[in-house]
Structure 1
Amino acid sequence: MLRTLLGALAGMVVTFLAIMGIEVLGHVLYPPPPGLDPMVPQQLERIMATQPAAALALVVVAWVLGAFLGGWVAARIARAHPRIAATLVALLVMAGVVGMIMQMPLHPRWMAVLGLLLPLPAALLAAGLARPRLPA
Protein backbone atom coordinates (compact mmCIF):
# COMPACT_ATOMS: atom_id res chain seq x y z
CA MET A 1 0.00 0.00 0.00
CA LEU A 2 2.94 2.32 0.65
CA ARG A 3 4.04 1.94 -2.99
CA THR A 4 0.53 2.88 -4.09
CA LEU A 5 0.62 6.08 -2.04
CA LEU A 6 4.14 6.91 -3.17
CA GLY A 7 3.13 6.23 -6.75
CA ALA A 8 0.13 8.50 -6.43
CA LEU A 9 2.27 11.23 -4.89
CA ALA A 10 4.90 10.95 -7.64
CA GLY A 11 2.14 10.90 -10.24
CA MET A 12 0.66 14.07 -8.79
CA VAL A 13 4.02 15.82 -9.03
CA VAL A 14 4.38 14.75 -12.66
CA THR A 15 0.80 15.85 -13.33
CA PHE A 16 1.44 19.28 -11.84
CA LEU A 17 4.64 19.72 -13.86
CA ALA A 18 3.00 18.56 -17.09
CA ILE A 19 -0.01 20.84 -16.69
CA MET A 20 2.14 23.83 -15.78
CA GLY A 21 4.50 23.16 -18.69
CA ILE A 22 1.70 22.91 -21.23
CA GLU A 23 -0.02 26.00 -19.84
CA VAL A 24 3.23 27.96 -20.07
CA LEU A 25 3.50 26.83 -23.69
CA GLY A 26 -0.08 28.04 -24.18
CA HIS A 27 0.84 31.47 -22.82
CA VAL A 28 3.76 31.60 -25.25
CA LEU A 29 1.61 30.56 -28.22
CA TYR A 30 -1.38 32.69 -27.17
CA PRO A 31 -0.10 35.60 -25.04
CA PRO A 32 -2.58 37.86 -23.30
CA PRO A 33 -3.26 41.19 -24.98
CA PRO A 34 -0.68 43.87 -24.13
CA GLY A 35 -1.37 45.68 -20.89
CA LEU A 36 -3.53 42.92 -19.40
CA ASP A 37 -2.25 40.80 -16.53
CA PRO A 38 -3.73 37.28 -16.16
CA MET A 39 -2.97 37.41 -12.43
CA VAL A 40 -5.50 40.24 -11.96
CA PRO A 41 -9.00 38.66 -11.73
CA GLN A 42 -10.73 41.72 -13.21
CA GLN A 43 -8.51 41.58 -16.28
CA LEU A 44 -8.82 37.82 -16.68
CA GLU A 45 -12.36 38.11 -18.02
CA ARG A 46 -11.16 40.39 -20.83
CA ILE A 47 -8.26 38.05 -21.56
CA MET A 48 -10.58 35.02 -21.72
CA ALA A 49 -12.91 36.87 -24.09
CA THR A 50 -10.05 37.51 -26.52
CA GLN A 51 -8.49 34.05 -26.48
CA PRO A 52 -9.15 31.78 -29.47
CA ALA A 53 -10.79 28.41 -28.90
CA ALA A 54 -7.43 26.73 -29.57
CA ALA A 55 -5.93 28.46 -26.53
CA LEU A 56 -8.76 27.20 -24.33
CA ALA A 57 -8.54 23.73 -25.86
CA LEU A 58 -4.85 23.67 -24.99
CA VAL A 59 -5.79 24.07 -21.33
CA VAL A 60 -8.03 21.00 -21.58
CA VAL A 61 -5.21 19.14 -23.33
CA ALA A 62 -2.96 20.08 -20.40
CA TRP A 63 -5.42 18.60 -17.91
CA VAL A 64 -5.87 15.38 -19.87
CA LEU A 65 -2.22 14.89 -20.74
CA GLY A 66 -1.25 15.73 -17.16
CA ALA A 67 -3.66 13.07 -15.88
CA PHE A 68 -2.30 10.58 -18.42
CA LEU A 69 1.38 11.17 -17.62
CA GLY A 70 0.78 11.32 -13.88
CA GLY A 71 -1.39 8.22 -14.02
CA TRP A 72 1.32 6.35 -15.90
CA VAL A 73 4.00 7.30 -13.37
CA ALA A 74 1.69 6.48 -10.46
CA ALA A 75 0.83 3.08 -11.92
CA ARG A 76 4.46 2.19 -12.67
CA ILE A 77 5.49 2.91 -9.10
CA ALA A 78 2.41 1.42 -7.42
CA ARG A 79 2.66 -1.99 -9.13
CA ALA A 80 0.15 -3.84 -6.90
CA HIS A 81 -2.65 -1.27 -7.22
CA PRO A 82 -1.92 0.73 -10.37
CA ARG A 83 -5.54 1.68 -11.05
CA ILE A 84 -6.00 3.06 -7.55
CA ALA A 85 -2.86 5.21 -7.83
CA ALA A 86 -3.87 6.47 -11.29
CA THR A 87 -7.40 7.20 -10.07
CA LEU A 88 -6.03 9.32 -7.23
CA VAL A 89 -4.08 11.35 -9.77
CA ALA A 90 -7.16 11.81 -11.95
CA LEU A 91 -9.24 12.86 -8.95
CA LEU A 92 -6.64 15.52 -8.15
CA VAL A 93 -6.92 16.90 -11.68
CA MET A 94 -10.71 16.85 -11.50
CA ALA A 95 -10.64 18.65 -8.14
CA GLY A 96 -8.39 21.28 -9.72
CA VAL A 97 -10.86 21.72 -12.57
CA VAL A 98 -13.74 22.14 -10.11
CA GLY A 99 -11.73 24.66 -8.10
CA MET A 100 -10.81 26.62 -11.19
CA ILE A 101 -14.38 26.66 -12.49
CA MET A 102 -15.69 27.82 -9.10
CA GLN A 103 -13.01 30.49 -8.82
CA MET A 104 -13.41 31.72 -12.40
CA PRO A 105 -16.87 30.73 -13.71
CA LEU A 106 -16.26 32.60 -16.97
CA HIS A 107 -14.73 29.53 -18.63
CA PRO A 108 -16.85 28.01 -21.40
CA ARG A 109 -19.04 25.12 -20.27
CA TRP A 110 -17.35 22.71 -22.69
CA MET A 111 -14.07 23.22 -20.83
CA ALA A 112 -15.68 22.23 -17.53
CA VAL A 113 -17.41 19.21 -19.04
CA LEU A 114 -14.29 17.91 -20.76
CA GLY A 115 -12.16 18.72 -17.71
CA LEU A 116 -14.41 16.56 -15.58
CA LEU A 117 -14.99 13.72 -18.05
CA LEU A 118 -11.56 13.08 -19.59
CA PRO A 119 -8.92 12.93 -16.82
CA LEU A 120 -10.16 9.65 -15.29
CA PRO A 121 -10.24 7.66 -18.55
CA ALA A 122 -6.85 9.15 -19.51
CA ALA A 123 -5.27 8.13 -16.19
CA LEU A 124 -6.81 4.63 -16.33
CA LEU A 125 -5.62 4.16 -19.91
CA ALA A 126 -2.14 5.15 -18.77
CA ALA A 127 -2.36 2.69 -15.87
CA GLY A 128 -3.19 -0.07 -18.34
CA LEU A 129 -0.25 0.88 -20.54
CA ALA A 130 2.09 1.06 -17.54
CA ARG A 131 1.75 -2.61 -16.69
CA PRO A 132 5.06 -4.42 -16.95
CA ARG A 133 5.23 -6.63 -20.03
CA LEU A 134 5.72 -10.33 -19.54
CA PRO A 135 8.81 -11.76 -21.22
CA ALA A 136 8.03 -13.51 -24.50
Structure 2
Amino acid sequence: MGRTILGATVGLVVAFFTIMLVELASHHVYPPPPGIDPGNTADMAKLIGMLPFGALLMIVLAWVIGAFDGGFVAGLIARKGHPRAAAIVPALMVMAGVVGMIVVMPAHPAWMSVAGLLLPMPAALAGAWIATRARRQTR
Protein backbone atom coordinates (compact mmCIF):
# COMPACT_ATOMS: atom_id res chain seq x y z
CA MET A 1 0.00 0.00 0.00
CA GLY A 2 2.87 2.36 0.80
CA ARG A 3 4.45 1.92 -2.62
CA THR A 4 1.09 2.59 -4.27
CA ILE A 5 0.69 5.87 -2.39
CA LEU A 6 4.30 6.83 -3.08
CA GLY A 7 3.86 5.95 -6.76
CA ALA A 8 0.69 8.02 -7.02
CA THR A 9 2.38 11.00 -5.34
CA VAL A 10 5.57 10.90 -7.38
CA GLY A 11 3.55 10.23 -10.54
CA LEU A 12 1.50 13.34 -9.83
CA VAL A 13 4.65 15.45 -9.45
CA VAL A 14 6.10 14.01 -12.67
CA ALA A 15 2.84 14.71 -14.53
CA PHE A 16 2.85 18.31 -13.30
CA PHE A 17 6.43 18.94 -14.38
CA THR A 18 5.95 17.22 -17.73
CA ILE A 19 2.94 19.41 -18.46
CA MET A 20 4.93 22.50 -17.51
CA LEU A 21 7.83 21.50 -19.79
CA VAL A 22 5.63 20.74 -22.80
CA GLU A 23 3.69 23.99 -22.33
CA LEU A 24 6.98 25.89 -22.01
CA ALA A 25 8.10 24.35 -25.30
CA SER A 26 4.76 25.39 -26.77
CA HIS A 27 5.39 28.99 -25.74
CA HIS A 28 8.69 28.89 -27.64
CA VAL A 29 7.06 27.50 -30.77
CA TYR A 30 3.97 29.73 -30.47
CA PRO A 31 5.00 32.77 -28.40
CA PRO A 32 2.14 34.83 -26.99
CA PRO A 33 1.84 38.37 -28.34
CA PRO A 34 3.23 41.17 -26.18
CA GLY A 35 0.87 42.80 -23.72
CA ILE A 36 -0.97 39.63 -22.69
CA ASP A 37 -1.29 39.26 -18.92
CA PRO A 38 -1.54 35.54 -18.05
CA GLY A 39 -3.22 36.47 -14.76
CA ASN A 40 -6.04 38.30 -16.56
CA THR A 41 -8.87 36.00 -17.62
CA ALA A 42 -10.06 38.38 -20.35
CA ASP A 43 -6.55 38.57 -21.84
CA MET A 44 -6.25 34.79 -21.77
CA ALA A 45 -9.66 34.33 -23.40
CA LYS A 46 -8.57 36.74 -26.14
CA LEU A 47 -5.29 34.86 -26.55
CA ILE A 48 -7.04 31.50 -26.82
CA GLY A 49 -9.21 32.89 -29.58
CA MET A 50 -6.07 33.96 -31.48
CA LEU A 51 -4.02 30.77 -31.07
CA PRO A 52 -3.47 28.56 -34.11
CA PHE A 53 -4.62 24.94 -34.01
CA GLY A 54 -1.05 23.72 -33.43
CA ALA A 55 -0.71 25.74 -30.24
CA LEU A 56 -4.01 24.39 -28.90
CA LEU A 57 -2.98 20.87 -29.87
CA MET A 58 0.28 21.26 -27.96
CA ILE A 59 -1.69 22.12 -24.81
CA VAL A 60 -3.74 18.93 -25.16
CA LEU A 61 -0.55 16.97 -25.86
CA ALA A 62 0.94 18.40 -22.67
CA TRP A 63 -2.00 17.01 -20.69
CA VAL A 64 -1.80 13.59 -22.37
CA ILE A 65 2.00 13.27 -22.16
CA GLY A 66 1.92 14.46 -18.55
CA ALA A 67 -0.70 11.86 -17.66
CA PHE A 68 1.28 9.15 -19.49
CA ASP A 69 4.55 10.07 -17.74
CA GLY A 70 2.80 10.27 -14.38
CA GLY A 71 1.16 6.89 -14.92
CA PHE A 72 4.45 5.35 -16.04
CA VAL A 73 6.34 6.56 -12.96
CA ALA A 74 3.45 5.62 -10.68
CA GLY A 75 3.42 2.13 -12.20
CA LEU A 76 7.19 1.75 -11.78
CA ILE A 77 7.11 2.74 -8.14
CA ALA A 78 3.93 0.86 -7.19
CA ARG A 79 5.34 -2.35 -8.68
CA LYS A 80 3.46 -5.38 -7.33
CA GLY A 81 1.10 -3.18 -5.35
CA HIS A 82 -1.54 -1.52 -7.44
CA PRO A 83 0.18 0.18 -10.38
CA ARG A 84 -3.10 1.00 -12.14
CA ALA A 85 -4.57 2.51 -8.98
CA ALA A 86 -1.42 4.60 -8.55
CA ALA A 87 -1.62 5.73 -12.20
CA ILE A 88 -5.23 6.85 -11.83
CA VAL A 89 -4.23 9.61 -9.40
CA PRO A 90 -2.13 11.66 -11.86
CA ALA A 91 -4.81 11.14 -14.53
CA LEU A 92 -7.57 12.37 -12.23
CA MET A 93 -5.55 15.42 -11.26
CA VAL A 94 -4.87 16.27 -14.91
CA MET A 95 -8.59 15.90 -15.59
CA ALA A 96 -9.36 18.11 -12.58
CA GLY A 97 -7.05 20.73 -14.07
CA VAL A 98 -8.95 20.51 -17.35
CA VAL A 99 -12.24 21.00 -15.51
CA GLY A 100 -10.75 24.02 -13.77
CA MET A 101 -9.64 25.37 -17.15
CA ILE A 102 -13.13 24.88 -18.55
CA VAL A 103 -14.71 26.72 -15.62
CA VAL A 104 -12.24 29.60 -15.48
CA MET A 105 -11.80 30.10 -19.23
CA PRO A 106 -14.74 28.72 -21.17
CA ALA A 107 -13.31 30.26 -24.37
CA HIS A 108 -11.38 27.05 -25.08
CA PRO A 109 -12.69 25.11 -28.07
CA ALA A 110 -15.00 22.24 -27.15
CA TRP A 111 -12.67 19.67 -28.74
CA MET A 112 -9.95 20.64 -26.22
CA SER A 113 -12.30 20.09 -23.30
CA VAL A 114 -13.47 16.74 -24.63
CA ALA A 115 -9.92 15.56 -25.36
CA GLY A 116 -8.71 16.82 -21.99
CA LEU A 117 -11.40 14.82 -20.21
CA LEU A 118 -11.18 11.63 -22.29
CA LEU A 119 -7.46 11.13 -23.00
CA PRO A 120 -5.55 11.46 -19.68
CA MET A 121 -6.99 8.31 -18.08
CA PRO A 122 -6.12 5.92 -20.94
CA ALA A 123 -2.73 7.63 -21.30
CA ALA A 124 -1.91 7.14 -17.60
CA LEU A 125 -3.10 3.53 -17.63
CA ALA A 126 -1.02 2.87 -20.76
CA GLY A 127 2.00 4.34 -18.96
CA ALA A 128 1.41 2.06 -15.96
CA TRP A 129 0.94 -0.94 -18.25
CA ILE A 130 4.22 -0.25 -20.05
CA ALA A 131 6.00 0.23 -16.72
CA THR A 132 4.76 -3.11 -15.39
CA ARG A 133 5.68 -4.88 -18.64
CA ALA A 134 9.16 -3.30 -18.59
CA ARG A 135 9.65 -4.32 -14.97
CA ARG A 136 8.64 -7.93 -15.75
CA GLN A 137 11.11 -8.11 -18.63
CA THR A 138 14.05 -6.90 -16.51
CA ARG A 139 13.63 -9.64 -13.92
**Could you tell me which amino acid in structure 2 is paired with residue 64 of structure 1?**
V
- TM-score in terms of structure 2 length: 0.93
Residue 109 (structure 1) aligned with residue 117 (structure 2): no
Instruction: Write out the 4+ residue segments of structure 1 that deviate beyond 3 Å after TM superposition.
Output: none
Q: Is the 8 A contact 1:4 1:78 kept in 2?
A: yes
Distance 2:42 2:100 in 1: 18
**Could you tell me which amino acid in structure 2 is paired with residue 133 of structure 1?**
R
Distance 2:48 2:90 in 1: 27
Unaligned runs of 5+ in 2: none
Query: 1:85 and 1:26, CA in 2 relative to 1: closer, same or farther beyond 3 A?
Result: same
Unaligned runs of 5+ in 1: none
RMSD: 1.2
Q: Is the 8 A contact 2:41 2:104 kept in 1?
A: no
Identity of aligned residues (%): 54
Q: Secondary structure at the match of 1:27?
A: helix
* Number of residue pairs aligned between Structure 1 and Structure 2: 136
The structural deviation recorded for 1:135 is 5.8
Residue 97 (structure 1) aligned with residue 98 (structure 2): yes
Aligned to 1:32: 32
- TM-score in terms of structure 1 length: 0.95
Query: 1:135 and 1:8, CA in 2 relative to 1: closer, same or farther beyond 3 A?
Result: closer
